[in-house]
Amino acid sequence: MAFLNWLKRHLVVIAGLLTLGYLLLPNVVVTVFSFNQPKGRFNYEWQEFSTAAWTDPCGVADLCGSLSLSLQLAAWATLGATVLGTLIAFALVRYRFRARGAVNSLIFLPMAMPEVVMAASLLTLFLNLGAQLGFWTILIAHIMFCLSFVVVAVKARVMSMDPRLEEAARDLYAGPVQTFLRVTLPIAAPGIAAGALLAFALSFDDFIITNFNAGSTVTFPMFVWGSAQRGTPVQINVVGTAMFLIAVLFVVAGMVVTNRRKRQKA
Amino acid sequence: MKTTQNSSGDVRLTGIGKTYGSFTAVHPLDLTVPEGSFFALLGASGCGKTTTLRMIAGLEEPSQGTVSLGDQDVTHLPPYKRPVNTVFQSYALFPHLDIFENVAFGLRRRGLKSVKKQVDEMLDLVQLGEQARKKPHQLSGGQQQRVAVARALINHPKVLLLDEPLGALDLKLRRQMQLELKRIQTEVGITFIHVTHDQEEAMTMADTVAVMNGGRVEQLGSPADLYENPKTTFVANFLGTSNLIEAEVDSRSGEEIVLKAGDGKLVLPEARCAAPAAAGGRVLVGIRPEKITLTHADDAGQIPVGRNRITGKIAATSFIGVSTQYVIDSSVCPEFEVYVQNVERDARLVPGADVVLHWSPAHTFGLDAAQDIDAGVEEGAAL
Amino acid sequence: MSTLTEAEAPPPTAPVPTAKPARRRGRWTPYLLLAPGLIWLVVFFAMPMVYQASTSVQTGSLEEGYRVTWHVATYWDALSEYYPQFLRSVLYAGTATFLCLLLGYPLAYLIAFRAGRWRNLILILVIAPFFTSFLIRTLAWKTILADGGPVVGALNSLHVLDVTSWLGLTAGDRVLATPLAVVCGLTYNFLPFMILPLYTSLERIDGRLHEAAGDLYATPLTTFRKVTFPLSMPGVVSGTLLTFIPASGDYVNAELLGSTNTQMIGNVIQSQFLRILDYPTAAALSFILMAAILIMVTVYIRRSGTEDLV
């Protein structure tokens, strides 16, 4: 009976942790299998422990090339989407203009559209224009679908910003440019950074839209997709694990730094 | 820092008004704030006081009229070119800068390179030297308020604008900061224009108070003048409490007006009547609760002649400590308020007792009866 | 993200009556700010839709080129040939969305109300998997659900597989290459998109409301039904949308974890466009999918009464 009561009180916690396990299980598998030494071409069954892949991450043809291409694409797409999206967010929050509803829909729709539809329609555009599929078409596509997410992230931040802060700056002898650079931009920065981070992650990990518009160019997700047909090298798991660890490391480091700063000041 | 008595530093508003579409926030008004004075704009929320202040700051462009500082017309100057600084409501301290950089902001924008000495001095003036490297959110409300004042004052503005600067503080801190601000103002001698909805705050701090209502200035004067000689029912009710009685002008004799209220007669000095008083016309007679003496009906014979008197019955009493407040039910005014100092308490003054209220005619004031008799009651009471 | 934006938010302030978005000066400024981004969206998002619509009513061949002939029959042909894939998409995506809600709600609730100082850590653990390419993580399910693996073995010995194969979800003692595997993958892939909006709206609920409900004679279950869940509706709505929409167009899970019998409409569009090169049919299918999604989303948003999702 005591156990039943305990179970009843902690049911939510247990269910939540089970879901968390479900979310993390594949990452555990990816990490474990990055130390595997598979017998065949596919890395789906455990054979024996090996660090071979970790010592030679670029040992598979094209893997590191596709990885570097994806990183470049993500960097440029982040830059483009962040600049364009931030401008839109500021216009939406700070100004009144005609056709606000239409503008809002145009920004909302790309987020409410299955990727395959955007991918297919963009391909028809490129085919009709006779564009050469490759780096530039991928970049165009990535900026397009990252844009809306940046707008949402930046808009939230700018909206929560006290308009009196900018008035205070103007009152304290800062002209429009100074006000923007010294007050508006620094305060909006966390929102812009969040938008940029999201854009980078979306672009780096995108497969469906890229797959349609890449031509013969191979990004990292496309390399993984191809390897699922041809054979999965262990190095894929190494890259996946490394990315996971680097991201967690960055986040934890950031948290430690802010915590320490808080403690010092308090 | 004080300059000689010329008009070179006065703030002059001429026919200044502001409309948003069809809504008039501020009706065209003229106002002169003498240099070096502590001036308060007092009114309930939405009365146009903040808009007026923002037009002086340059944060709002007036729909009409001009703003001048001394001889200079600044109407179309952007805020960053005006020698005017503002202490914002809830302070608007820059969250990403520390206290030092917040205070140094204005100096730096004007191109000063070495700001350290000035900022340190200013932080000492507001007793925040220790906190220079903290971020605003690490300070208490009172400290943030002082940073906001320091950030504005360090620029030596011709005029300091304060937009409800104490609204976010608790009562005790507010009292303390009122004295503090008054001290700073006396020390630096800069013109302060202070917007507030708190009549007590305006009266304790300001030399001159402008009471605003519905986008207009209702009355302008020293706090005592406004309190003793209200010109409108709004001022009478908004500043403190007033008993207003509807009366008919009976006759005039010399400098006095004799009025008929119910079956009694009241005398009102002509000089204290803000309304035209022709015989047969109607006037609102006002009297402040603390000016009234309360006498039990049995002792009515002892009341000196020449005093205004009204009879009634005590409806309720409440003991406040320094005084006792009575609500009297009388035929001319259903809820007459009387405050009596607790010097010698008359044990017979309990609810139900018949009493005579009497006061010196010199304390009586007269208002135009065409106004809403309850104007300003709720705005004043809500605070 | 919500933790990021709150970190340095200005102190809460009273509303400023004069803080209107309107500004006198610079009437053209908003248009200049909007122009680059909006032109991008018009040229690379809206115009492609038009091209796609036009392609869908063209006839011709790759060699001779295509011309607009208003051949609407393509739509009928596409629908009658591929309606099983359409139905499957709706069915799989719907089931995955439902499962996401079922699995995600407890976790979001846990983070919002019960996690205490573990809150940030759990949030990181929810987001962190994103940093490993989703294709790699989806491939990991091939290992997890492998024939004869521990998961399948356990399900088999518990006779769960007997039930699921009777329901047509699995085939024999296999999980891979069955609808169950595809739904499992979809649920896994889009679960964070459910958890995060749910968490955001749950986190806004004042904990004292639970106490107030308890004080007013509500049992924990009633409190949840009458207070917590209704207040989390915005999160439920955006979470289900963020899950259902991408899931219905997905073809990665069906391709990697399913078989030819589990193909969804995304697989068809993909192969028509990239392998078979029958552009009109592919465009028509894509157009139908878009229209269906838009109609469903509009009806759903209207009925749930939360129109401001942007």
Q: Are residues B224 and B335 in the same domain?
A: no
Angle subtended at Cα C258 by Cα C135 and Cα A67, rounded to the nearest 5 degrees: 15
Q: Are residues B68 and B89 in the same domain?
A: yes
Q: Is C221 on the interface with A (CB under 8 A)?
A: no
Q: Which of A162, A203, A204 is nearest to A184 (CA)?
A: A162
Most B CBs within 10 A among C13, C20, C23, C25, hence the mutation to make, goes to: C13
Q: Are residues B310 and B359 in the same domain?
A: yes
Which residues lie across from A64 on neighbouring strands?
none
Q: Helix H segments across A63-184? A: 63-94, 100-108, 115-129, 135-159, 163-171, 176-179
Q: What secondary structure does DSSP assign to B10-68, as a single string? A: -EEEEEEEEEETTEEEEEEEEEEE-TT-EEEEE--TTSSHHHHHHHHHTSS--SEEEEE
Residue with more model confidence, A124 or B2: A124
**Chain C residues whose beta carbon lies within 8 Å of the beta carbon of residue A243:** 131-133
For chain B, how many structural domains are there in total?
A: 2
Provide CB contacts within 8 A for A228, sequence distance 6+. C135, C139, C256
pLDDT of C104 above 60: yes
Domain range enclosing B282: 233-381
Residue with more model confidence, C308 or C109: C109
Residue B296 sits in a domain of what CATH number? 2.40.50.100
Look at A144 and C40 and tell me if their CB atoms are within 8 Å: yes
Nearest CA in chain A to B80: A173
Q: Are A235 and A53 in contact (CB under 8 A)?
A: yes
Q: Are residues B155 and B240 in the same domain?
A: no
For chain C, how many structural domains are there in total?
A: 1
What pLDDT score was predicted for residue A124? 92
Q: Is residue B126 part of a domain?
A: yes
Q: Are residues B242 and B218 in the same domain?
A: no
- Burial of C27 from C-beta contacts in 10 A (0-12 / 13-18 / 19+): exposed
Q: Is B102 on the interface with C (CB under 8 A)?
A: no
Nearest CA in chain C to B61: C24
Report residue A248's pLDDT band, with 50, 70 and 90 as the boundaries. Answer: confident
Q: Is A53 on the interface with C (CB under 8 A)?
A: no
Closest Cβ–Cβ partner in A95, A125, A127 for C30: A95
Look at C8 and B46 and tell me if their CB atoms are within 8 Å: no
Half-sphere exposure (Cβ direction) of A156: Cα atoms closer than 13 Å = 20
Residue B216 sits in a domain of what CATH number? 3.40.50.300
Q: Are residues B151 and B224 in the same domain?
A: yes
pLDDT tens-digit series, residues C249-262:
999 999 999 998 89
Residue C271 sits in a domain of what CATH number? 1.10.3720.10
What pLDDT score was predicted for residue C209? 87
**3-class DSSP state for residue C175?**
coil
What pLDDT score was predicted for residue C8? 37
What pLDDT score was predicted for residue C184? 95
Report residue C198's pLDDT band, with 50, 70 and 90 as the boundaries. Answer: very high
Q: Is residue C271 part of a domain?
A: yes
Closest Cβ–Cβ partner in C10, C16, C24 for B95: C10
Q: Is B96 on the interface with A (CB under 8 A)?
A: yes
**Predicted ipTM?**
0.90
Place of tokens 């902001």: B105
Q: Are residues B209 and B290 in the same domain?
A: no
Q: Is residue B114 part of a domain?
A: yes
User: In chain A, how many H helices and how many E strands?
Assistant: 13, 0
Mean pLDDT of A113-131: 93
Closest Cβ–Cβ partner in A168, A178, A265 for B88: A168
Closest-CA distance, B95 to chain C, in angstroms, reads 6
Mean pLDDT of chain C: 85
Closest Cβ–Cβ partner in B78, B94, B96 for A170: B78
Nearest CA in chain B to A183: B94
Interchain CB contacts (distance < 8 Å): A and C: 292
Q: Is B118 on the interface with A (CB under 8 A)?
A: no
Closest-CA distance, B134 to chain C, in angstroms, reads 14
Q: Are residues B72 and B115 in the same domain?
A: yes
Q: Is residue C217 part of a domain?
A: yes
**3-class DSSP state for residue B260?**
strand
Domain range enclosing C190: 87-304
Q: Is residue C155 part of a domain?
A: yes
- Burial of C266 from C-beta contacts in 10 A (0-12 / 13-18 / 19+): buried
Q: Are residues B208 and B297 in the same domain?
A: no
C155: left (phi over 0), alpha (psi -120 to 50) or beta: alpha
Q: Are residues B84 and B19 in the same domain?
A: yes
Lowest mean pLDDT, pick from B107-121, C56-70, C202-216: C56-70
**The pTM is what?**
0.81
Q: Is residue C198 part of a domain?
A: yes
The interface residues of chain C toward chain A in range 132-161, judged by CB-CB distance below 8 A, are 132-144, 146
What pLDDT score was predicted for residue B232? 93
Nearest CA in chain A to B95: A187
pLDDT tens-digit series, residues C224-244:
888 889 999 989 998 999 999
Q: Are residues B43 and B83 in the same domain?
A: yes
pLDDT of C270 above 80: yes
Q: How many CB atoms lie within 10 A of CB A123?
A: 28
Q: Helix H segments across chain C? A: 2-7, 29-41, 47-56, 73-109, 119-127, 134-144, 150-157, 160-166, 179-203, 207-215, 220-223, 229-231, 233-249, 252-257, 265-271, 279-304
pLDDT of A220 above 50: yes
pLDDT tens-digit series, residues A55-88:
988 888 889 999 999 999 999 999 999 999 999 9
Interchain CB contacts (distance < 8 Å): B and C: 22
Which of B176, B209, B228 is the C-terminal boundary of a domain? B228
What pLDDT score was predicted for residue A184? 92
Note the maximum CA span of chain B: 80
Most B CBs within 10 A among A96, A158, A167, A172, hence the mutation to make, goes to: A172
Q: What secondary structure does DSSP assign to B138-202, as a single string? A: GS-HHHHHHHHHHHHHTT--SEEEEESTTTTS-HHHHHHHHHHHHHHHHHH--EEEEEES-HHHH
Half-sphere exposure (Cβ direction) of B258: Cα atoms closer than 13 Å = 10
Closest Cβ–Cβ partner in B60, B137, B167 for C18: B60
The interface residues of chain B toward chain A in range 225-284, judged by CB-CB distance below 8 A, are none
What pLDDT score was predicted for residue B380? 64
Which of B188, B207, B228 is the C-terminal boundary of a domain? B228
**Chain B residues whose beta carbon lies within 8 Å of the beta carbon of residue A186:** 96
Q: Is residue B1 part of a domain?
A: no
Residues of chain A contacting B, Cβ within 8 Å:
162, 164-165, 167-175, 178, 182-183, 186-187, 189, 265-266
Q: What secondary structure does DSSP assign to C240-287, as a single string? A: HHHHHHHHHH--HHHHHH--GGG--HHHHHHHIIIII--HHHHHHHHH
Residues of chain B with pLDDT under 50: 1-6, 382-383
**Chain C residues whose beta carbon lies within 8 Å of the beta carbon of residue A160:** 5, 9-10
Q: Are residues B30 and B113 in the same domain?
A: yes
Which of B228, B255, B282 is the C-terminal boundary of a domain? B228
Query: Between A135-159 and A115-129, two packed helices, what is the crossing angle to 10 degrees?
Result: 130
Mean pLDDT of C194-213: 90
Provide CB contacts within 8 A for B156, sequence distance 6+. B1, B190
Rounded to a whole number of angstroms, the CA Rg of chain B reads 25
Q: Is residue B98 part of a domain?
A: yes
Q: How many CB atoms lie within 10 A of CB B217?
A: 21
pLDDT of C215 above 80: yes
Q: Is residue C61 part of a domain?
A: no
pLDDT of C309 above 70: no
> Given a contact as 3+ CB pairs under 8 Å, which chains touch B?
A, C
